[in-house]
């Protein structure tokens, strides 16, 4: 298959590119404005195209025409940006993404659209004042209502833009026959996620902040106490599912939405901080390494005004199990250990030190 990966230079894109090329049966065109992570991959079936999808519509259209399936990963995906630049998030994650949908419809191409588990928003338990801890509510793709917070909490612009894009795809499907599949990732983690804030400016997702603390000694900050839950999915498990969706055996994924997650990997953010510290101390600590404090910080101090958190996110993955025969394998411990090992080795290589012994 000739696959066009838009946003291929990011965390999911680079891991997906590598996996698609491994089998030697697909040709991948990797489109991004950023190439550093893709530089690690050398393969005759990989073509990199440096393209800003917002500025060169003609090149984008030609790329759509030239491929069998279009995978759209382009988005701003870090919560700090939802608070800092809600309009920028709307423009890229909805307006620019909509153009890709329109081109796929115009040229009758199948699109695989990356959405987010954030479209589910808050649990209904939390909105009636129940403690989500006592009310696990797995999110089901075609059943669960999508609950966003008030407009003044503009963090929800990301989830709202993604939700509207999903609704537009559905409408294109029923009115114009567009063939699409939608993916809702639940907190993927693994090698090449984001960046460390001591090495690059910006405000990445939580794993990178905590890793930064362990390697550079900055405090590990728990936003509003770190009591909210996440369930982390290892990138290799996720990519395995994404490839099945892309290959779309017997058309089983036509006009389907899929949760991709590992429901039993749940922990609170405070527990994540403790687990990362424990793993670091037991497996990676060397003389002279820092020992960061775990401290509380308010959401307003950390993100600014307009933040609100998703309290609990549990994926129901029955659809992926039944239609794709997929089952994620990596436990919480393994997800965190393997991702930490990647960052520790990268850091050691930078210092001219030997990698962690297997």
Q: Is 158 a catalytic residue?
A: yes
With CA atoms as reference, report the closest residue to 197 among 179, 170, 180, 220: 220
> Which positions lie near ligand NAD, rule CB under 6 A?
7, 9-13, 32-34, 52-54, 73-75, 77, 92, 114, 116, 185, 187-188
Q: Distance between CA atoms of 218 and 207, rounded to whole angstroms?
A: 13
Residue among 187, 256, 332, 339 that touches ligand UGA (CB under 6 A): 187
The one of ligand NAD, ligand UGA, none whose footprint includes residue 13, by CB under 5 to 8 A per kind, is ligand NAD
**10 binds ligand UGA, rule: CB under 6 A:** no
The one of ligand UGA, ligand NAD, none whose footprint includes residue 11, by CB under 5 to 8 A per kind, is ligand NAD
Q: Which of residues 236-295 bind ligand UGA (CB under 6 A)?
A: 269
The one of ligand NAD, ligand UGA, none whose footprint includes residue 309, by CB under 5 to 8 A per kind, is ligand UGA
Q: Least distance in Å: CB of 132 to ligand UGA?
A: 12
3-state secondary structure of 180: strand
Cross-strand bridge partners of residue 92? none
**What is the pattern of x (binds ligand UGA, CB under 6 A) and - over residues 82-121?**
----------------------------------xxx---
Task: With beta carbons less than 8 A apart as the criterion, state whether 320 and 235 touch.
Answer: no
With CA atoms as reference, report the closest residue to 185 among 284, 272, 266, 119: 119
Q: Which of residues 14-73 bind ligand UGA (CB under 6 A)?
A: none
The one of ligand NAD, ligand UGA, none whose footprint includes residue 308, by CB under 5 to 8 A per kind, is none
The pair phi, psi for residue 296, each rounded to 5°, is -90, 145
> Which C-beta is closer to ligand NAD: that of 20 or that of 284?
20
Q: Distance between CA atoms of 209 and 220, rounded to whole angstroms?
A: 7
Identify which range of 126-134, 136-144, 220-228, 240-248 contacts ligand UGA by CB under 6 A: 220-228
Instruction: Please give the sequence-ordered ranges of beta strands (E in DSSP) within the chain, or none if there are none.
Output: 2-6, 27-32, 46-50, 69-72, 110-114, 180-185, 188-189, 220-223, 229-231, 233-234, 256-260, 266-268, 294-297
Residue whose entry in the numeric block shows the structure tokens 């079936």 = 45
**226 binds ligand UGA, rule: CB under 6 A:** yes
Residues 6+ apart with CB under 8 A from 325: 244
Q: Least distance in Å: CB of 70 to ligand NAD?
A: 13
**228 binds ligand UGA, rule: CB under 6 A:** yes
Residue whose entry in the numeric block shows the structure tokens 């939390």 = 126
Q: Which of residues 135-164 bind ligand UGA (CB under 6 A)?
A: 158
Identify which range of 18-26, 93-101, 184-192, 252-260 contacts ligand UGA by CB under 6 A: 184-192
Burial class (CB in 10 A: 0-12, 13-18, 19+), 329: exposed
Cβ count near 347 (within 10 Å): 18
Helices (H), 233-288: 235-247, 269-279
The one of ligand UGA, ligand NAD, none whose footprint includes residue 239, by CB under 5 to 8 A per kind, is none
The one of ligand UGA, ligand NAD, none whose footprint includes residue 46, by CB under 5 to 8 A per kind, is none
Pairing of strands 69-72, 46-50: unpaired
> Which C-beta is closer to ligand UGA: that of 221 or that of 339?
221
**9 binds ligand UGA, rule: CB under 6 A:** no
Tokens for 123, please give them: 């649990």
User: Which one is catalytic: 82, 120, 158, 307?
Assistant: 158
Residues with catalytic function: 158
Q: Residues interacting with ligand UGA, by CB under 6 A?
A: 77, 79, 116-118, 158, 185-187, 205-206, 209, 221-223, 226, 228, 230, 269, 309-310
């Amino acid at each position: 298959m000739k696959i066009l990966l838009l946003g291929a230079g990011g965390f999911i894109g680079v891991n997906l590119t590598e996996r698609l090329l491994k089998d030697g049966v697909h040709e991948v065109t990797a489109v991004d404005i950023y190439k550093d992570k893709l530089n690690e991959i050398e393969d005759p079936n990989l073509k990199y195209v440096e393209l800003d999808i917002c500025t060169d519509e003609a090149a984008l259209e030609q790329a759509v025409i030239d491929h069998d399936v279009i995978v759209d990963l382009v988005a701003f995906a870090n919560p700090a940006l939802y608070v800092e630049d809600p309009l920028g998030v709307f423009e890229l994650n909805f307006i620019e993404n909509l153009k890709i949908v329109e081109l796929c419809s115009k040229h009758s191409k199948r699109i695989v659209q990356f959405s987010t588990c954030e479209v589910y928003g808050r649990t209904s338990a939390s909105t009636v004042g129940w403690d989500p801890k006592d009310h696990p509510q797995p999110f089901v793709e075609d059943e669960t209502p999508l609950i966003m917070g008030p407009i003044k909490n503009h963090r929800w612009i990301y989830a709202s833009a993604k939700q509207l894009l999903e609704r537009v795809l559905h409408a294109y499907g029923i009115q114009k026959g567009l063939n699409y599949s939608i993916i809702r990732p639940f907190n993927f983690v693994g090698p090449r996620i984001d960046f460390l804030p001591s090495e690059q400016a910006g405000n990445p997702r939580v794993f990178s902040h905590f890793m930064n603390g362990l390697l550079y000694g900055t405090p590990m900050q728990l936003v509003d106490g770190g009591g909210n839950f996440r369930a982390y999915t290892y990138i290799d498990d996720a990519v395995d599912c994404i490839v099945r969706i892309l290959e779309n055996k017997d058309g089983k994924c036509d006009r389907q939405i899929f949760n991709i997650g590992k429901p039993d990997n749940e922990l609170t953010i405070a527990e994540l901080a403790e687990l990362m510290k424990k793993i670091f101390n037991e497996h990676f600590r060397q003389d002279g390494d820092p020992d960061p404090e775990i401290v509380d910080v308010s959401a307003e101090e950390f993100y600014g005004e307009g933040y609100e958190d998703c309290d609990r996110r549990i994926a129901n993955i029955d659809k992926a199990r039944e239609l794709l025969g997929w089952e994620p394998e990596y436990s919480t411990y393994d997800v965190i250990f393997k991702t930490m090992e990647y960052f520790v080795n990268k850091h050691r290589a930078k210092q001219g030190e030997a990698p962690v012994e297997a």
